[in-house]
Amino acid sequence: MTRMLRAAVVLACLGALLQSQAFSQGKKKNKKDEDFTQTLAVAPDPPSAVAADTAKLSFLIAPLSAKGLLSQQTRDALKWLMQNSKGSQFVRIRAYVAGTGDLRRIPSLVSEMFTEKKIALPVVTVVQVGGLPLEAAQLQLVATVQDRKTVNPGGVLFLAAQQPSLQQSMEQLRSRAGNSEVQMLACAAPTLEEVTAARTAATTLFPRAQLVFYQAQRSVSQPVAACEGVARLAQPPDGGARFQEGAVAVSSPRLIFSGAQLAFRYQEADARLAFQRLEKTLQSLGGSLKRTVSLNAYPLSPQLADLVARVRLEFLDRDHLPSGTSLPYEGLPSMDASFGLEAITLGSPTP
């Protein structure tokens, strides 16, 4: 009986020891799982510049949505762009954001979703606007993509027009386009009330264009409307590029696109620093501000727009000025930013 009791005690002790070891191993395993979760790679930031083939440039505009808040609308718009890109490479995504959502969230979501799908990241520009022509819509995404095949055998024409009214801006841009077929048109209106009539007129003036309309600022002291567009050239310009006021024709094979370079503070020296940083970014891929074909500025006041206009001439080729617009916007991703710059330049044939 005593032997049997001793054997039972020994067996009980062994069982307890085995349970303790199993529990300990389970904790170690869970700890490893926790450590693995904590060290997952963070999605990279979007690049500062991307090169693209001029002959393959195309555009996608995600439809406006009133569903959810900014993050959900961004995810839905990015899903739509990826589903409709048909394998094209994304070059640039520009986000017009209305409302009070965090603008810094847009580049983060682009990085997360593109990295998850193993898609090359585009440059990203984010600006806050005064309003979009759909109630509760907080976001409008415009994507420049590089198609798999040649769609612009004659090259492209970068267009811009800035007038007191939206109708005047569109008519001026139509005149500058000549017989070129406008593919994309983005217009900033002084008020959203102008947009309905302008959209109707735009479908007549630009029957093949994808259209974007928004209000740049909620309240303005002097009404200003601006439109920018990209058209398909029928014939390539001599020498690979032709510069005219508000219209730059390009057939050079390689273009460099930048994201928005932000400026901080309000002095000329601060503005020069922003242009110098943008120049360094463009040079990293063989571009230069001296060969800019399109330059958009996103200042937060008319005074800052004047500052950009003065300083930019120190960095551009005065005999070959780019197209582009510069009018006040509601906000930028950094609360300390004073204006943003976004450029497209001619690139060297090889990096």
One domain for residues 64 and 137: yes
| Buried residues in 211-250 as b, exposed as e (16+ CB within 10 A) | bbbbbbbeeeeeebbbbbbbbbbeebbeeebbbeebbbbb
Q: Which of 134, 149, 164 is the last residue of a domain?
A: 149
- My answer on whether 51 and 103 are in the same domain is yes
Asked whether the predicted pLDDT for residue 4 surpasses 90, the reply is no
> What is the pLDDT of the chain when averaged over all its residues?
90
| CATH label of the domain that carries residue 200 | 3.30.1180.10
Rounded CA-CA distance 140/63 in Å is 7
Residue 36 lies in a domain: no
SS3 145: strand
> Residue 222 — very low, low, confident or very high, per pLDDT cuts 50/70/90?
confident
159 vs 175: CA distance, rounded Å = 10
Tell me whether residue 27 is in a domain. Answer: no
pLDDT at 163 over 80: yes
Residues 337 and 289 in one domain: yes
Residue with tokens 């963070």: 42
Q: What does the pLDDT read at residue 18?
A: 46
Give the pLDDT mean for 199-208: 95
Residue 265 lies in a domain: yes
**CA separation for the pair 127, 141 (Å, rounded):** 11
Best CA proximity match to 97, nearest among 152, 149, 142, 154: 142
- Residue in this structure with the two tokens 């440059």, named with its chain if needed: 123
54 with 95, same domain: the answer is yes
In a domain? residue 214: yes
Which of 99, 132, 149 lies at the terminal end of a domain, its last residue?
149
Domain end: 167, 202, 232, which one?
232
Range of the domain at 209: 156-232
With pLDDT > 70 as the criterion, what percentage of the chain qualifies? 87
Lowest-confidence region among 144-158, 210-224, 298-312, 324-338: 210-224
The pLDDT value recorded for residue 97 is 98
Q: With cut-offs at 50, 70 and 90, classify the pLDDT of residue 214.
A: very high
In a domain, 28, yes or no: no
Residue 228 pLDDT > 80: yes
Q: What is the pLDDT of residues 32-52, one digit of tens each?
A: 454 445 555 678 999 999 999
Q: List, for residues 76-115, the tens digit of each pLDDT value.
A: 999 999 999 999 999 999 999 998 899 999 999 999 999 9
